[in-house]
Chain A
Amino acid sequence: MTGNEAIAEAAIRAGCGFYAGYPITPQNELTAYMAKNMPENNRVFIQAESELAAINMVFGASAAGVRAMTSSSSPGISLKQEGISYLAGAELPAVIVNIMRGGPGLGNIAPSQSDYFQATKGGGHGDYHSIVLSPSSVEEAYGLMFDAFDLADKYRNPVMILGDGMLGQMMEPLSLKPGKVIHYPKPWALIGCQGRPANIIRSLLLKDGALEELNLKLQKKYKAAQEKEQRWEEQFTDDAEIIVVAYGGMARIIKSVIRQFRQKNKKVGLIRPISLWPFPVKAFAKQTRKKVKYLVVEMSYGQMVEDVKLAVNCSRPVEFFGRAGGAIPAEGEIIAAIKKLEK
């Protein structure tokens, strides 16, 4: 299965009842998979007239209490930001998949990680966060979709799966394990007011202090997510003198590079953030050895590197290597960047 198809299959198994999307490369296989398989499973699939319509359809389905998702790629995700802000403001669960491509503008259709800021810092207007999960393999993408729907319902918040064109298009073997599916009660959902007072879904709060109150509630929720939902993978960090930090598809190349260093008994390790928001600061807090230096490698010109600097509070050297616009840092370039740090 390709990453795109695995994500779609996992969504269906996680109980996604509604999907709306709009064509954009490199995530079209996901939409096509949903077009075929959602109706076969008595779920709703709509090809929307635009990304704006798609995310607002997700808003509607979620307001009606149904697990809902959309998927797109970078320029389309920019269009969805309005809707994601409204979802966050109205505290509606939703899953948004971004299979990133090169930007800015129409960019190209090659893999990229240039939407990190947009995904992790809010993206739309207002003080909010989406929970952002980043898979680095097809199997992990499949598993994280179950988590994405679960976290969305648990926190009543949008959750984004941040992949890249490489992951979306890549084909890997996959065992379709049953995932965790918890049914959360949704007393707030709009299903008609029979036997209860009318429910209202809103993000407009004009009364004095009401919007601040909502914001404080959201902040409390984000704080809880920061406490409980940090996820990462680490390799060889116990004795590492250089720790390379990379996520998603980029981390796969790093793993291969690190193996080469370890074969030569060079103390190089890896931290791979899986939750990009909340950022796994705990992974860095553990590294108390004084000698550690960090190298952040991204398919961007330096976005996650800012969070790594914050995580180590600038107490250790943090260097960066990245290429973007569809360019992928090559092994040789990464090896050279690590060697520079060894000096």
Chain B
Amino acid sequence: MDKIYAHPGSLRNTTTHYCPGCGHGIAHKLVCQVIDELAIRESVIAIAPVGCAVLAYDYWDFDCTEAAHGRALAVATAIKRVRPQNIVFTYQGDGDLAAIGTNETIHAANRGENLTVIFINNAVYGMTGGQMAPTTLAGQKTATTPLGRDVKIQGYPLKISELLTQLPGVCYVERVSLQSPTEIIKAKKAIKLAFENQINKAGFSLVEVLSPCPTYWGLSPVKSMAWIKDVMSKEFPLGRIK
């Protein structure tokens, strides 16, 4: 009998610290599956963000560094420039990539750095207690928008992926979701393409992953998946953007 599914070799066999129903576990696994399929584990250098996924290196079994909040793409830029033979990727949340690190994100993309970015959008700051993120939806209640995000006061959900498509250095941008097995398979394909682009020296690739945060959405894991499908992906449409 053929073995058609196994624990990815580059994912450590351990339990994670993530909350029940969190999307990081799925996203970590997809990244590791892709790395295994492309047989690049021994040349990968990952940059973990500040946020819930800061401990990603406890789960990934390849070289990894932390970066200060928002600075992952500055760190990644230098690593890739001094070691172009390695495969370098960042894994960043919405606060990291689209608030405190917007400048680093835009400029790394604009320089066309040959990097892969996995951008986890869960519309909230998870690690610090569920505050408003740049991607928090209009009306969404968070610790710092107790009455719901009022776009007249707090601005609109920031569509950083769409913004990045304006830059000539950007090779590939796609938004995917973890809301269902079908979408997870699509997400994996997108992540694989983002790594293949780097292998082919095609330039800056970013995959935005809509990911559930049941704890700070105040929803069950199942309802969180439905919320991505019915609400979040209406604001952040799925599919290839560039």
Which residues of B are found within 8 Å of A190, using beta-carbon distances? 45, 63-65, 79
Which residues of B are found within 8 Å of A86, using beta-carbon distances? 66, 68
CB of A111 closer than 8 Å to a CB of B:
no
CB of A46 closer than 8 Å to a CB of B:
yes
Which residues of B are found within 8 Å of A57, using beta-carbon distances? 74-75, 77-78
CB of B141 closer than 8 Å to a CB of A:
no
The number of chain B residues with a CB under 8 A from chain A is 33
What is the CA–CA distance of A284 and B49 in the complex, to the nearest angstrom?
A: 46
What is the CA–CA distance of A203 and B54 in the complex, to the nearest angstrom?
A: 11
The contact of A49 among B57, B82, B103, by CB within 8 Å, is B103
**Contacts A192-B43, A193-B41 known; A64 to B68 CB distance under 8 Å?**
no
What is the CA–CA distance of A261 and B75 in the complex, to the nearest angstrom?
A: 53
Residue of B nearest to A44 (CB): B81
> Interface centre among B78, B82, B103, B104, by most A CB within 10 Å?
B78
**Contacts A64-B82, A83-B68 known; A56 to B61 CB distance under 8 Å?**
no
Which residues of A are found within 8 Å of B43, using beta-carbon distances? 192, 194
Which residues of A are found within 8 Å of B76, using beta-carbon distances? 60
Shortest A126–chain B CB gap in Å is: 13
The number of chain A residues with a CB under 8 A from chain B is 38
Which residues of B are found within 8 Å of A116, using beta-carbon distances? none
Which residues of A are found within 8 Å of B82, using beta-carbon distances? 17-18, 44, 60-61, 64, 66
**Contacts A20-B78, A64-B82, A204-B54 known; A53 to B71 CB distance under 8 Å?**
yes
CB atoms of A46 and B81 under 8 A apart: yes
Which residues of B are found within 8 Å of A141, using beta-carbon distances? none
Which residues of B are found within 8 Å of A17, using beta-carbon distances? 82
Which residues of B are found within 8 Å of A53, using beta-carbon distances? 71, 74, 103-104, 107
**Contacts A56-B67, A64-B79 known; A193 to B42 CB distance under 8 Å?**
yes
Which residues of A are found within 8 Å of B57, using beta-carbon distances? 198, 200, 202
CB of B83 closer than 8 Å to a CB of A:
yes
CB of B227 closer than 8 Å to a CB of A:
no
CB of A59 closer than 8 Å to a CB of B:
yes
Q: B76-107, CB under 8 A of A: which get 1 and which 0?
A: 11110111001000000000000000011011
Which residues of A are found within 8 Å of B216, using beta-carbon distances? none
CB of A312 closer than 8 Å to a CB of B:
no
Shortest A39–chain B CB gap in Å is: 11
Residue of A nearest to B68 (CB): A86
* A-B residue pairs, 5 tightest by C-beta: A60-B78, A60-B75, A56-B74, A56-B71, A201-B65
Of residues 63 through 87 on chain A, the ones whose CB sits less than 8 Å from some CB of chain B are 63-64, 66, 68, 82-83, 86
CB atoms of A18 and B68 under 8 A apart: no
Residue of B nearest to A57 (CB): B78
CB atoms of A192 and B79 under 8 A apart: no
Which residues of B are found within 8 Å of A49, using beta-carbon distances? 103-104, 106-107
Which residues of A are found within 8 Å of B106, using beta-carbon distances? 49
Of residues 15 through 65 on chain B, the ones whose CB sits less than 8 Å from some CB of chain A are 41-45, 47, 54-55, 57, 60-65
Q: B119-141, CB under 8 A of A: which get 1 and which 0?
A: 00000000000000000000000
Shortest A245–chain B CB gap in Å is: 36
- The interface of chain B, by Cβ under 8 A from chain A, is 41-45, 47, 54-55, 57, 60-68, 71, 74-79, 81-83, 86, 103-104, 106-107
The contact of B64 among A52, A60, A200, by CB within 8 Å, is A200
What is the CA–CA distance of A193 and B46 in the complex, to the nearest angstrom?
A: 11
CB atoms of B81 and A63 under 8 A apart: no
CB of A32 closer than 8 Å to a CB of B:
no
Which residues of A are found within 8 Å of B104, using beta-carbon distances? 49, 52-53, 56
CB atoms of A64 and B66 under 8 A apart: no
Which residues of A are found within 8 Å of B47, using beta-carbon distances? 60
What is the CA–CA distance of A308 and B45 in the complex, to the nearest angstrom?
A: 46
Shortest B112–chain A CB gap in Å is: 13
CB of A318 closer than 8 Å to a CB of B:
no
What is the CA–CA distance of A165 and B78 in the complex, to the nearest angstrom?
A: 28
Residue of B nearest to A89 (CB): B66
Residue of B nearest to A189 (CB): B63
Shortest B201–chain A CB gap in Å is: 16
CB atoms of B78 and A64 under 8 A apart: yes
Shortest A171–chain B CB gap in Å is: 32
6 contacts between A and B (CB under 8 A): A44-B81, A46-B81, A64-B83, A190-B63, A190-B64, A191-B86
CB of A110 closer than 8 Å to a CB of B:
no
Which residues of B are found within 8 Å of A253, using beta-carbon distances? none
Shortest B27–chain A CB gap in Å is: 19
Of residues 17 through 70 on chain A, the ones whose CB sits less than 8 Å from some CB of chain B are 17-18, 20, 44, 46, 48-50, 52-54, 56-61, 63-64, 66, 68
What is the CA–CA distance of A60 and B82 in the complex, to the nearest angstrom?
A: 9
Which residues of B are found within 8 Å of A61, using beta-carbon distances? 78-79, 81-82
The contact of B75 among A63, A66, A82, by CB within 8 Å, is A63
CB atoms of A194 and B83 under 8 A apart: no
The contact of B79 among A63, A90, A200, by CB within 8 Å, is A63
What is the CA–CA distance of A199 and B104 in the complex, to the nearest angstrom?
A: 25
Residue of B nearest to A54 (CB): B74
Residue of A nearest to B104 (CB): A53
